[in-house]
Structure 1
Amino acid sequence: MPTSPHEDFDQSLRQLQQRAEGALSPATLSRLRQARQQASAAHAAGSPWRRRGWWLATACSAVLAVTVAVRFNTTAPPVLPASTAAISGDDAADDTLLFDESPELYLWLGSDGALAME
């Protein structure tokens, strides 16, 4: 016995379906089942989700390949002309001395944000 309106509705639809199936001949039911099976088999084989899965796998493989190529790229940095290298060589030595002479910079970098904003 149904106890809620939803169960009552479901029960009436089940009875209606049983009466409709009883009115069909067994040959018609067999043809309908075969047509449904063929349609579901054809749909599953060429499903758009299946095709999208291949595209997604290809895209993920491409992203992974690019990531690996960038990570293991071992090309040397470009070589500067001799005149530019001589000028920048002196500046590099001055920069390292600047960091060696200023330990307060390292304390400032390691401190909390309130002190760093002063």
Structure 2
Amino acid sequence: MPTSRNDDFDRSLRQLQQHAEGAVSAATLARLRQARRHATSGADAGASPWRRRGWWLATACSAVLAVTVAVQFNRTAPVLPPSVAADPATDLSDDALLFDESPELYLWLGSDAVAME
């Protein structure tokens, strides 16, 4: 069965890994297992003060962000003076209808040419 370059590369990396695993001493493997068990034990009693402060800092930043977003959503829309507010009884000018009547504008805005500029 023919092999591709990727298969040959995978096979050579597997052999290299097996060779490296065989070269590690039993004492080193025991220390690595012990370090892994200690890291995954979930005991944070020996965590550094900086690590404990990091969780509090992350929680505080999340709370500030949540409050900021809530304040932004609870704002009411600004009231425009009567001269600026649109009167629904009047007809819209041709300039205002230009965007509604030109789908090419939206196609151009969504094109890659605009994104690359």
TM-score range (shorter-chain normalised) is 0.3 to 0.5
Larger radius of gyration: 1
TM-score, with length taken from structure 2: 0.40
Question: Higher relative contact order at CA 8 Å, sep ≥6: structure 1 or structure 2?
Answer: 1
